[in-house]
Structure 1
Amino acid sequence: MLKKLSLLAATFIVATGTALADPVSGGRANAVIQPEPPSLMLGLVQNGPTQMVAGNVYESLLRYGPDLEPLPQLAKSWEISEDGLTYTFHLYDNVKWHDGEPFSAEDVVFSADVFLRETHPRLRQSLKYVESITAPDANTVVFKLNEPFGPFIGIFEVGTMPMIPKHIYEGTDYKANPANNTPIGTGPFKFTEWTKGSHILLTKNEDYYIDGLPYLDEIYWHIIPDAASRSVAFETGVVDILPGGSVENFDVPRLTAMENTCVTDKGWEFIGPLSWMWLNNREGPTADKRFRQAVMYAMDREFAKDALWNGLGKVAQSPVSSSTRFFSD
């Protein structure tokens, strides 16, 4: 495999309107989702579009800041034992699933130790370090490891460990459960409607356990298959938010120059996206390491960054993204 060629700085483009000193409750966010998710059941499907939409419906124990430091989500606090073998999480009180049923530590045990062990290949690898997951009481969960595993505190985000309602899925065929079509989580927004090929509507969770949140009443995800049409939708005010990858890179400078528009490349730190050339290292001329090295040195990666990504990225230094905690120059 050739070394990575370019780190793509995917941009979010947002129509800002009039700047306000403080957030105001109410309103709808019109966003693009591309491509259309195959499913919104985050415990079964973890691709990018599914995570972007369903990450507002489902939650995990933690979320992560720009420096990837752990922050509270369903867990309001946590402790790690000195030997690195015991992780104890204390859950928020009075959290409810979107159907009104109470959320508890038993849902965490079911999600991590039963449902996701079966359905989530990425999490399954990290759970190899887990000896037991227990719920000593309704608001406490204890993960006991069989050996110290430094990255363990980083696996509690919604795309890796979404919380699944035990009262809906226990004892069922997970893939055939009818609730997969109407996902139920604990997040700030509830699933309301999905018209295939048109839109996905999420509405405010009025019983959200954090007072005052969310601010928005709705998130309306527009499904617009053509990139040029997505650009026009933003220009004409049909949509307010273009997530990274929604439009062609060459359209980004024109759109970001519009009045009342802001752009950011933040928010992808956890994912650490990389683009690379994948070569066959088992047979043929590319199996020779010297051949792959020659390709590496011959390729003008600065040109690729500027011509293919319109300068929206930087040349990678290694197979480890520079946005991750494990990168070293």
Structure 2
Amino acid sequence: MQGEDAPTNRRTFLTAVGGAAAAALAGCTDGEGTPTGDGTSSSTPSDTPTDASTPAGGPQSGGTLRVGFESELTGLDPHRTESVVSWLVVFNVCETLITFEDGAPAGRLATDWEIGDDGRTYTFTLTEDARFHAPVDRAMTADDVVYSFERMNQDGAMGSDLVAVDSVEATGEYEVTFTLAETFAPFFNFLGRVPWVIVPEEAVEEQGGELGDFQEPVGTGPFQFDEYEPGEKLTLTAFDDYRADDVPLLDAVEITPIPDADSRVAALRGGDVDMVRGVSGSDAETLREDAETKLSRQRGTQWGQLHINCSEPPWDDPAVRRAVAHAMDRSAIVEAAVSGYGQAAWQPYAEESVWHYDLGDSRRTHDPERAREILDDAGNPLDGETLTIKTNTRYGLMETTAELLVAQLGAAGIDAETEVLEWGTQLSDFLGGNFGAMAFSVPFKIDPDRHYYGFVHPEGTQFSHYGEDQPDAQRMYELLERGRSETDQDERVEIYGEFEQLVNEHCPWISVARADGLAGLRADVYGVQPWLLPYTRFWTMWTED
């Protein structure tokens, strides 16, 4: 195997992914502290280990886990949905070729792989033990892999990164070969992305055949889709024919959307549900102090930022963006939004990660006077202007970021206001470019290409709308292209380091925080296994009688 994204061993992969991965895997352990305004570290709340008091008898089989989600599901077609909570369901029903265990690549539907010397050919040997759920009820083969990747490579699917794939061929009943048009360094890591799951053609066709029609997903995973009452409840049941090593302990999982955070916590403390996602930092302390509940913590699963549309006046002016970056007090936002369960951040990757670039004194730290100077030097482009920050009340980090930033901007002499939207409306505005700036967050990504290419490059989704008229745009595009084609690890680190310097200089977005993923559990729930990405593996969990 050649190159960083074709790791030959666990150590190579951990070096590539870096400390951010280790942080995400830290789960229920003591942490390293929250940066203060001067970049030093202050103490953070200690964690209560989820499984510290596992009963002496060990795991128990049976029972139903009742889970409260923080938002409604917005579709379950694995190759179409853009919702994190929908992906969590898909992740337990369908499977990718590879996954990640303890920070290292591991087979899921693939048992072995070989990468050609030119870095363009990837051949995977598939397990012969994977079966699709009813009503398909047959073995998964290489033809299903070919079909699935062809399906996710169409317009509107969540497979835009497949542009690098020249062909996918079944080179045996249980062997599939990908040939890339050119070297594509992130490809191997991307194969573990939740949207890149394998599905059976006949089940898709039975439900209509079009992208978005596949709302009762059929996969090979440890749980199978049972029923869904939109807005009420989704039920997954254990797949009894699942491969022996990971047969679920639970009989079923019932998922109920409870968008209101207070109602979610009340449902958990009252025993109406066994687990809730999207716990706020302030509620975390309440759950830790309640003898009937406990807390699960995954570090750095969310990257919070002020997302900016660089084509929308006055945000198209780099001076405005730089001034806002200096007006922002990240540490105050982190403390208020997540009660210390996170870190102030100037980039998505933590200091321990190989992808982290040390900006040193060039970091745009909280400095209201510097914000005023930048605007004065630029001829006061915000004279008579009021900046609008879009946000929602669904996610505390986004809501608090917007609210505090408006106050912080005011302290720097900049008029600003919030526009509070329903979460679905804000997400639609983000995808459609209907904003000047909004408080936003995205899940942690293993490879920097996943964070940066789609934000900036014109051949990606370019969510930041960083057009050719913006400073150093061509250089930033070039760096992102090189980051995809270069397979040497050290070279990629240098490429993304230079890119981070340009982001710090021109502020196509403004990083705010790396926030921890918090979930609340009843005291009799066990088996939570913190993972590299923010998706819960229900098949490892169990409840005590």
* TM-score, normalised via structure 2 length: 0.52
C-alpha distance in 2 between matches for 1:16 and 1:233? 21
With over 3 angstroms needed to count, the CA separation of the structure-2 counterparts of 1:72 and 1:119, relative to structure 1, is farther
- Return closer, same or farther for 1:234/1:281 CA change in 2, 3 Å cut-off: same
Gapped regions of structure 1 (runs ≥ 5): 1-8
Bigger CA radius of gyration: 2
Q: Structure 1 residue 176: deviation in Å?
A: 7.0
- 8 Å Cα contact 1:280/1:287 also seen in 2: yes
Q: Which residue of 1 aligns with 2:367?
A: none
Secondary structure of the residue that 2:119 maps to in structure 1?
A: coil
Matched, 1:162 2:175: no
SS at match of 2:66: strand
Distance of aligned partners of 1:59 and 1:46 in 2 relative to their CA distance in 1, 3 Å threshold: farther
Q: 1:55 aligns with which of 91, 96, 115?
A: 91
**What letter corresponds to residue 53 of structure 1 in structure 2?**
V
> In the alignment, which residue of structure 2 is the partner of 1:297?
326
Q: In 2, are the aligned partners of 1:58 and 1:158 still within 8 Å (CA)?
A: no
- Following the alignment from structure 1 to structure 2, what is the Cα–Cα distance between the partners of residues 48 and 73? 21
For the Cα contact (< 8 Å) 1:25–1:215, is it kept in 2? yes
Partner of 2:123: 88
Match of 2:163 in 1: 128
1:123 touches 1:155 (CA, 8 Å); kept in 2?
no
Distance 2:313 2:181 in 1: 43
Q: Tell me by how many angstroms 1:281 deviates.
A: 3.4
Moved more, 73-82 or 220-229: 220-229
Q: Distance in 2 between matches of 1:74 and 1:325?
A: 29
- Other-structure match for 1:216: 250
Partner of 1:147 in structure 2?
Answer: 182
2:221 equivalent to 1:187: yes
Give the Cα separation in 1 of the matches to 2:312 and 2:82: 32
2:284 is matched with 252
Contact (CA 8 Å) 2:87, 2:195: kept in 1 or not? no
Q: In structure 2, do the counterparts of structure 1 residues 212 and 73 end up closer, same or farther at CA, with 3 Å as the change threshold?
A: closer
1:14 & 1:228 partners in 2: Cα distance? 23
Match of 1:3 in 2: none
Letter in 1 for 2:287: L
TM-score computed with the length of structure 1 as normaliser: 0.84
Q: Which runs of 5+ in 2 are unaligned?
A: 1-23, 29-47, 359-545
Is 1:263 aligned with 2:298? no
1:81-120 matched pairs, under 5 angstroms: 81-99=116-134, 100-112=137-149, 114-118=150-154
Cα distance, 1:285–1:45 mapped onto 2, change above 3 Å? closer
Separation in 1 of the partners of 2:205 and 2:312?
A: 47
Deviation at 1:284, TM superposition (A): 4.0
Cα deviation, residue 283, structure 1: 5.4
Amino acid corresponding to residue 318 of structure 2 in structure 1? K
Contact 1:60 1:156 in 2 (8 A): yes
Q: Distance in 2 between matches of 1:25 and 1:157?
A: 28
Q: Which residue of the partner structure matches residue 5 of structure 1?
A: none
The Cα of 1:121 is off from its aligned counterpart by: 4.4
Task: Give, as a single letter, the amino acid of the residue that structure 1 aligns with 2:142.
Answer: A
Q: How far apart, CA to CA, are the structure 2 residues paired with 1:162 and 1:53?
A: 12
Matched letter for residue 23 of structure 1: P
The offset of 1:120, in angstroms, is: 5.4
CA distance in 1, matches of 2:216, 2:267: 28
- Check 1:46–1:283 CA distance in 2 against 1; reply closer, same or farther (3 A cut): closer
User: Using the alignment, how far apart are the partners of 1:105 and 1:137 within structure 2?
Assistant: 7
- Give the whole-Å Cα distance in 2 for the aligned partners of 1:163 and 1:134: 14
Indicate how the Cα distance of structure 1 residues 286 and 115 shifts in structure 2: closer, same or farther if over 3 A, else same.
closer
Q: Residues 81 and 158 of structure 2 are in contact (CA less than 8 Å); yes or no, is this contact kept in structure 1?
A: no
Q: Deviations over 1:76-104 (max 9, x none)?
A: 12122222111111111131110212211
Give 1:16 deviation, angstroms: 6.1
Percent identical pairs in the alignment equals 30
Cα 1:298–1:292 change in 2 (3 A) is same
Partners in 2 of 1:258 and 1:17 — Cα distance?
A: 16
Query: Could you say if the C-alpha distance between residues 148 and 47 of structure 1 is closer, same or farther in structure 2, counting changes exceeding 3 Å?
Result: same
Partner of 1:238: 272
Shift of 1:66: 5.0
Equivalent pairs, count: 309
Q: From 57, 60, 65, give the equivalent of 2:101.
A: 65
Q: Measure, in 2, the Cα distance between the counterparts of 1:93 and 1:216.
A: 25
Deviation digits for residues 252-279 of structure 1 (CA, Å, limit 9, x no counterpart) = 211122226443332x76xx52221234
Over 3 Å counting, the alpha-carbon distance change for 1:146 and 1:207 in structure 2 is same
After superposition, the Cα gap between the structure-2 partners of 1:160 and 1:25, relative to the gap in structure 1 and judged at 3 Å, is same
| Distance in 2 of aligned mates of 1:324 and 1:109 | 34
Residue from 285, 305, 313 that aligns with 1:276: 305
Q: Distance in 2 between matches of 1:160 and 1:324?
A: 25
The letter of the residue matching 1:40 is L
Find out whether 1:44 has 2:44 as its counterpart.
Answer: no
Q: Give the Cα separation in 2 of the matches to 1:296 and 1:281.
A: 14
Query: How many angstroms apart in 2 are the aligned matches of 1:73 and 1:293?
Result: 45
Cα 1:324–1:72, aligned 2, differ >3 Å: closer, same or farther?
A: farther
Q: Please give the secondary structure, in 2, of the residue aligned with 1:206.
A: coil
Q: Which amino acid is the alignment partner of residue 101 of structure 1?
A: R
